[in-house]
Structure 1
Amino acid sequence: MSTRDRTAIPPRRRRPRGSRAERFAPLVLLAPAVLIIVGPRLWPLVLGINFSFTGDGDRDGTAVGFDNYLTLLGDPLFLTALRNVGLLVLLLPVAVAIPGLLATFLHLKVPGHRVYRGVYFFPAVLSPVIVGAIFTLLLAFDGPLNTVLGGLGIGPVDWLGDPDVAIFAIVGVHVWATFGMALVVFLAGFATLDPSLLDAAEVDGATLPQTIRHVIVPGLTRTIQFVFVTTLIGMLTSMFGLVYVMTSGGPEGSTYLPEYYVWIQQGQMNQPALASAASTALFLIMLVVGLAQIAVLRRTGGED
């Protein structure tokens, strides 16, 4: 091609970098998700927090400052609910370790692992009301469990009537009914784990506890963090059905949890402002405990 022909071809126009459309494209794509979060989620939360500073009854709609929160701190039932939250936090590692260990065995393909996957997940599809009704019969003082214990020479246990035992029974039922979801999450986490690390641990003669501690736990740090937080949220916000069906907050209010307390104040006592204050307290508890768990797990996992 001659020089004259080359000069006859008009030069290509360069596309301007960072055009306005390109800069706003991510915002347009994020807009629906942001609206969904801000609209149905954050806005009602803000309204609930604002409502918690108003009064009930004769003072309905009147600003009362922190009176509702002071009332909560003086209510023995709410203090019992807070104590039970502390108990749930202490039992949380057990609730996470159970699906974690089972997922480890399934990943190692123990005999019958395909069947176990379906069996372990099945309780997660049951309604809490159905689960509560079933275990109310099983854990009754004259129920099948105590009949078996009696055959073993162990005295009957008042699982749902003893204030010192009932909350542990409900937590145990909740863990049984929900660990299938955490199991699926752990199995998904194992799919991202480098198989060569497990092979190297086997070649080096590492025992199963050593493999779990030095290979699996560091490799699944993110997954463990996610399961810890979601399990805690489930314990604090998804046990209402079990408490309502199995004990109705009893005996002696020993199985009260914040969400059940909120329902009592709103649905039976007709104190929506006090219920809003309890809901706000529950939100703050979940936020603080969740952030603390993430910080501890990051430090344990050796993350920056």
Structure 2
Amino acid sequence: MSIRETVSSVRPAPAGRTGEAARGTLGGRTRPRRRSRSLTAERLAPYVLVAPAVLIIVVLRLWPLLLGVNFSFTGDGDRNGTAVGLDNYLRLLDDPLFRQALRNVGLLVLLLPVAVAIPGLLATFIFLRVPGHRLYRSVYFFPAVLSPVIVGAIFNLLLAFDGPANTLLGSVGLGPVDWLGDPDVAMFVVVGVHVWATFGMALVIFLAGFATLDAALLDAARVDGATLPQTIWHVIVPGLTRTIQFVFVTTMIGMLTSMFGLLYVMTSGGPEGSTYLPEYYIWIQQGQMNRPALASAASTVLFVIMLAVGLLQIRLLRRAGRVD
């Protein structure tokens, strides 16, 4: 081998190639770091976005709830701030008004399927575009924008003993009914008025659920000659299972926590305490009887009832959906 060939064989590589190799090596080291940082940011982004809402819920909801539960184990009056154990809960069980309120809660649970079925059927008719469906959509939602006080005042006039309802019954030969003065009738009347005043929101939720329903299933049912009840039971109900679950839970919560205005205006808990509900009982104990600890105990019981009923409804509806 000559001297020239030996020198050329040991000659260093050009500077340009060395720089490209170096940049490739550095790029290979930095890219995984940048990629890991981006993955970490993507994983943290949902928590950062949810954090303000979680903070608001904890500060304004969960923390007051825990304080109320703790306060329910203290006394009222002379024993204010003193730990009394389960005395307040025992007093609730001995109070006939609170027991009546719990019986009325059971009545609401029994009437809940009716309160959900009414907006569900109306939404079905609107979805199927019955004649005048656009007008019905506006008319059905209109009561939802009215104040419970206004609704209660209107129905007080309509259902008075000498009001239009009894006048209409008299014109067909039926005797007058004491709609708001009969203990066996008053609670059903108030619940009916509440359903009429609030089903517009459930109607909107059902219509939103219909937007996710597969139209091909409805066309297949129509081709197979399915009747309207068969289409509702075998196609619409299974397709709207999650929507029905949501409406069941929200309707139950509304019936337990949003009827105070109607009760206050229409019956004031009467006659004979037959229209008491836990929320009205809580207001009486806190606002009139000055028993905040007892009211906190009643609030805790109401929360437990709503939680238990809601979970039971979701479980039953999920099981029914799996069976279908």
The TM-score bracket by the shorter chain reads over 0.9
Find out whether 1:107 has 2:127 as its counterpart: yes
2:149 corresponds to 1:149? no
Residues 108 and 8 of structure 1, relative CA distance in 2, 3 Å threshold:
same
Q: 1:25 aligns with which of 33, 37, 45?
A: 45
**Residue in 2 that maps onto 1:293:** 313
State the secondary structure of the residue aligned to 1:301. helix
Identify the residue that residue 197 of structure 1 maps to in structure 2: 217
Tell me: CA distance 1:203–1:32, structure 2 relative to 1, closer, same or farther (3 Å).
same
Between the aligned partners of 2:43 and 2:222, the Cα distance in structure 1 is 51
For residue 262 of structure 2, the aligned residue among 239, 242, 247 is 242
1:33 is displaced (CA, Å) by 0.9
The one-letter amino acid paired with 2:304 is L
* 1:181 and 2:198 correspond: no
Instruction: Flag the 1:23–1:269 CA change in 2: closer, same or farther, 3 A.
Output: same
Rate the CA distance shift 1:179–1:295 in 2: closer, same or farther, 3 A.
Answer: same
Deviations, residues 189-225 of structure 1 (Å, cap 9, x unaligned): 0000001110110000000110011000000000000
Spell out the pairing of 1:22-171 with structure 2 (5 A cutoff).
22-171=42-191
Q: Percent identity?
A: 80
The partner residue of 2:31 within 7, 10, 14 is 14
Tell me which amino acid in the other structure corresponds to 1:298: R
In structure 2, what is the Cα distance between the partners aligned to 1:178 and 1:273?
A: 32
Aligned residue identity for 2:116: V
Q: Normalising to structure 1: TM-score of the pair?
A: 0.96
Question: Which string of whole-angstrom CA distances, capped at 9 and with x for unpartnered residues, describes residues 122-170 of structure 1?
Answer: 0000000000000011011111001001101111110000000000000
1:162 aligned partner, one-letter code: D
Paired AA for residue 60 in structure 2: P
What is the root-mean-square deviation in Å for CA atoms of aligned residues?
A: 1.5
| Deviation of 1:31 (Å) | 1.0
Q: Matches of 2:213 and 2:41 in 1, distance apart?
A: 39
Task: State the distance in 2 between where 1:172 and 1:22 align.
Answer: 50
Aligned in 2, Cα 1:106/1:58: closer, same or farther, shift over 3 Å? same
Which ranges in structure 1 are unaligned for 5 or more consecutive residues? none
User: Partner letter of residue 214 of structure 1?
Assistant: H
Letter in 2 for 1:275: A
Q: Out of 6-15 and 232-241, give the one that drifted further.
A: 6-15
Q: TM-score, normalization: structure 2?
A: 0.91
Distance 1:146 1:224, change over 3 A: same
Separation of aligned partners in 1, 2:16 and 2:120? 71
Alignment coverage as a number of residue pairs = 302
Q: Shift of residue 5 of structure 1? A: 5.8
Tell me if 1:274 matches 2:291: no
Work out which of the two has the higher radius of gyration on C-alpha atoms and give 1 or 2. 2
Structure-2 separation of matches of 1:62 and 1:127: 40
